[in-house]
């Protein structure tokens, strides 16, 4: 590193006074983001634990309920999210090499793909609402209401219960389904807000090879949300499929 | 600066690996492997193996952990460690509940 380059790094306007140089600041930021992501992993981990526990307790009910989910929309959404992770990674790359226009393009693509995911998720939620598969008492005619629950294994609402499954156990699956996908969607909405922030400051040419921590750190968050979905998709949508012929 | 810039071809490769993994996990889900260990079917093991593999690729390359400082490795490992504790202790409780005879 030449003396002139060293000067420009030490004198960067984004350098906070408590850091020696930009590299130390960037590493501290990345490290802090990872500590936050560990708390996020534990947060989602609790829900994955609940899923694992109740799935091992009520396998037939989970298989019955899982078969109601739209596997095509789920798979398409997985592809959309993986592509958005790729464009996010490219956004970080273009920032690192200092190409502003491709950087903005990659971030805008990531935002569009994220919103596409949320749109498809909304279509799925609407289908669940139409089929009255919302857990709890909010919708009076729901199959999970108190009047129906007392009938035990009867199936007046076309739940297609497999042998050994009860209505209440299917409702439990939908509590877990909406809690997990809902929290995931909330993280996507927050991510979309963060991306909007990144795009605005990218247009103002705030980020470049010397200063790109915000792009990198929000990228880490975005990839984490992608990883959660990588687990949610097979666990919620796919693991009941082979019970269909029972 | 000592920062490692991941080349584009690595990102493209990982992206394609993730797509192939998604296709494989969907294909595997429609095939019944007819093998159970307790309530855990071979289908579940295959689906989770693919998911863990995909997540590992995302963490190592998209999230740059492979090129990160040691302290990042320590933090990522600690997340897996605490998750393992949470699952192990909870399941130790649930699995052993039926072991005591009625009346205790």
Q: Closest Cα of chain A to B104: distance in Å? A: 23
pLDDT of residue B31: 83
Task: With H, G, I as helix, E, B as strand and everything else as coil, classify residue A245.
Answer: coil
Contact residues on chain B for A89, CB-CB shorter than 8 A: 6, 11, 14, 61-62
In DSSP terms, which residues pair with B40 in a beta bridge?
A: B37
Spatial CA neighbour of A100 closest among A212, A221, A213 = A212
B-contacting residues in A 55-84 (Cβ below 8 Å): 55-56, 59, 71, 75, 78-79, 82-83
Q: Closest Cα of chain B to A9: distance in Å? A: 9
Query: For the packed helices A100-130 and A71-96, what is the interaxial angle rounded to 10 degrees?
Result: 160
Phi-psi region of A136 (alpha: psi -120 to 50; beta: other; left: phi over 0): left
What backbone torsions phi and psi does residue B40 show, to the nearest 5 degrees? Answer: -95, 115
Contact residues on chain B for A46, CB-CB shorter than 8 A: 86
Per DSSP, the residues of B32-63 read ----EETTEEHHHHHHHHHHHHHHHHIIIIIT
pLDDT of residue A104: 97
Contact residues on chain A for B19, CB-CB shorter than 8 A: 79, 82
CB contact under 8 A, B15 and A53: no
Residue with tokens 């792009």: A215
CB contact under 8 A, B38 and A56: yes
- Rounded Cα distance between B35 and A86, Å, is 36
B-contacting residues in A 8-47 (Cβ below 8 Å): 9, 22-23, 26-27, 30-31, 34-35, 37-38, 41-42, 45-46
pLDDT of residue A14: 86
Distance of CA B102 to the CA centre of its chain: 38
Per DSSP, the residues of A83-121 read HHHHHHHHHHHHHHTT-HHHHHHHHHHHHHHHHHHHHHH
Tens-binned pLDDT, residue by residue, of chain A (246 aa): 444 444 445 578 888 888 888 888 999 999 999 999 999 999 999 999 999 999 988 888 888 888 889 999 999 999 999 999 999 999 999 999 999 999 999 999 999 999 999 999 999 999 988 888 888 887 776 777 665 544 555 555 667 777 888 888 889 999 999 999 999 999 999 999 999 999 999 999 999 998 999 999 999 999 999 999 999 999 999 977 766 443
pLDDT of residue B52: 96
Query: For the packed helices B70-96 and A22-57, what is the interaxial angle rounded to 10 degrees?
Result: 20
What backbone torsions phi and psi does residue A98 show, to the nearest 5 degrees? Answer: 80, 30
Q: Looking at this predicted complex, what is its ipTM?
A: 0.91
Which CATH number among 3.20.20.80, 1.20.120.80, 1.10.275.10, 1.10.260.40 corresponds to the domain A22-242? 1.20.120.80
DSSP B68: S
pLDDT of residue B2: 58
Contact residues on chain A for B16, CB-CB shorter than 8 A: none
- Rounded Cα distance between B66 and B5, Å, is 12
Q: Closest Cα of chain A to B89: distance in Å? A: 11
Integer angstrom CA distances of residue A55 from A65, A160, A165, A169: 11, 17, 11, 10
Q: Residues A188, B12, A104, A1: what is their CA dihedral angle, to the nearest 10 degrees?
A: 120
Q: Are A114 and A77 in contact (CB under 8 A)?
A: no
pLDDT of residue A155: 56
Sequence ranges of the domains in chain B = 8-99
pLDDT of residue A138: 79
- Rounded Cα distance between B17 and B11, Å, is 10
Tens-binned pLDDT, residue by residue, of chain B (104 aa): 457 899 999 999 999 999 999 999 999 988 888 787 766 788 888 999 999 999 999 999 999 999 999 999 999 999 999 999 999 999 999 888 878 776 65
Contact residues on chain A for B51, CB-CB shorter than 8 A: 230-231, 233-235
């Amino acid at each position: 590193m030449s003396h002139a380059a060293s000067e420009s790094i030490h004198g960067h306007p984004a350098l906070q006074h408590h850091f020696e140089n930009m590299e130390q600041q960037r590493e501290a930021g990345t490290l802090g983001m990872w500590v936050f992501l560990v708390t996020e992993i534990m947060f989602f981990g609790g829900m994955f634990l609940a899923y694992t526990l109740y799935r091992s307790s009520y396998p037939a009910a989970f298989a019955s309920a899982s078969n109601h989910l739209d596997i095509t929309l789920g798979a398409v959404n997985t592809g959309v999210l993986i592509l958005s992770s790729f464009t996010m990674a490219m956004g970080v790359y273009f920032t690192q090499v200092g190409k502003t226009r491709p950087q903005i393009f990659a971030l805008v693509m990531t935002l569009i793909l994220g919103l596409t995911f949320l749109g498809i998720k909304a279509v799925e939620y609407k289908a669940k609402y139409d089929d009255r598969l919302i857990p709890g008492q909010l919708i009076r005619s729901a199959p999970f209401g108190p009047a129906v629950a007392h009938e035990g294994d009867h199936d007046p609402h076309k739940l297609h219960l497999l042998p050994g499954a009860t209505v209440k156990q299917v409702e439990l699956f939908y509590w877990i389904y909406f809690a997990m996908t809902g929290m995931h969607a909330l993280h996507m909405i927050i991510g979309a807000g963060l991306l909007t922030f990144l795009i605005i400051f990218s247009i103002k040419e705030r980020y470049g090879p010397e200063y790109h921590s915000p792009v990198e750190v929000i990228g880490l968050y975005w990839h984490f949300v992608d990883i959660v979905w990588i687990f949610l998709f097979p666990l919620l949508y796919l693991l009941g499929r082979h019970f269909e012929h029972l | 600066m000592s920062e490692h810039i991941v080349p584009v071809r690595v990102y493209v490769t990982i992206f394609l690996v993730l797509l192939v993994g998604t296709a494989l996990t969907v294909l595997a889900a429609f095939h019944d492997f007819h093998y159970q260990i307790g309530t855990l079917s071979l289908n579940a093991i295959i689906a989770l193996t693919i998911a863990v593999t995909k997540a590992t690729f995302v963490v190592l390359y998209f999230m740059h952990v492979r090129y990160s400082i040691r302290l990042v490795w320590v933090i990522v490992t600690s997340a897996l460690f605490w998750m393992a504790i949470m699952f192990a202790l909870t399941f130790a409780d649930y699995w052993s509940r039926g072991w005591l005879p009625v009346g205790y």
